[in-house]
Amino acid sequence: MTNKQENEVVRQGVATYKVEAVVAFLIFILGVTVITGSWKLGSGWTSDGPGAGYFPFYIGILLCIAGLGVLFQSLFGKKKNTDIFVDNDQLKLVLSVFIPACVYVLAVQFLGMYVASAIYIALFMIILGKFSKVKSILTALAVMVLFFLMFEVWFKVPLFKGNFDPLAFLGY
């Protein structure tokens, strides 16, 4: 074994062709969804021109064809890309941001934009950024007060407040 081979670390993770196959399948499912919705809207030609779903119907067909083509090519093609798409360490880093973001999106439905965003910013700074709790909470509150003033007061654009509305006493 050469010195170069000893220094190389073996990467373990998901192969690129598998990720391509999953994305291609999801694109196919998206195409089927578009076709189904377009069919319900009316994808044919009506007495006064194309129906509401006419154009989206054909876009859905194109998505299905493209998804199946990429799926076939990634699984059965001659030049399968077997390189590692993401190794386990990189995947952990991505998931450490992705999972809290998904929880945040769910929290917005119950707590509203302002409260959920303040909690998300503070926890993100504390857990991933390793900032102090006081600095994180103050920053999160300052950002949300600024956003509240900007959207609700200055632009007069109300954001979703959810079931928990701590600003109701202010008339917003």
Residues 6+ apart with CB under 8 A from 108: 116, 117, 160, 162
Residue 163 to residue 107: CA distance in whole angstroms: 11
Question: Strand, helix or coil at 169?
Answer: helix
Question: Which pLDDT score is estimated for 11?
Answer: 75
Question: Strand, helix or coil at 46?
Answer: strand
Spans of the chain, pLDDT less than 70:
1-9, 165-172
135-150 residue pLDDT tens: 999 999 999 999 999 9
Can you give the pTM of this predicted structure?
A: 0.66
Residue 39 to residue 30: CA distance in whole angstroms: 14
Residue 144 to residue 151: CA distance in whole angstroms: 10
| DSSP code, position 1 | -
Give the length of the chain: 172
Amino acid at 50: P
List, in sequence order, every residue forming a beta bridge with 46; answer none if it has no partner: 49
| DSSP code, position 158 | P
- Listed by start position, the domains of the chain span 13-82, 87-170
Contact 159, 151 (CB under 8 A): yes
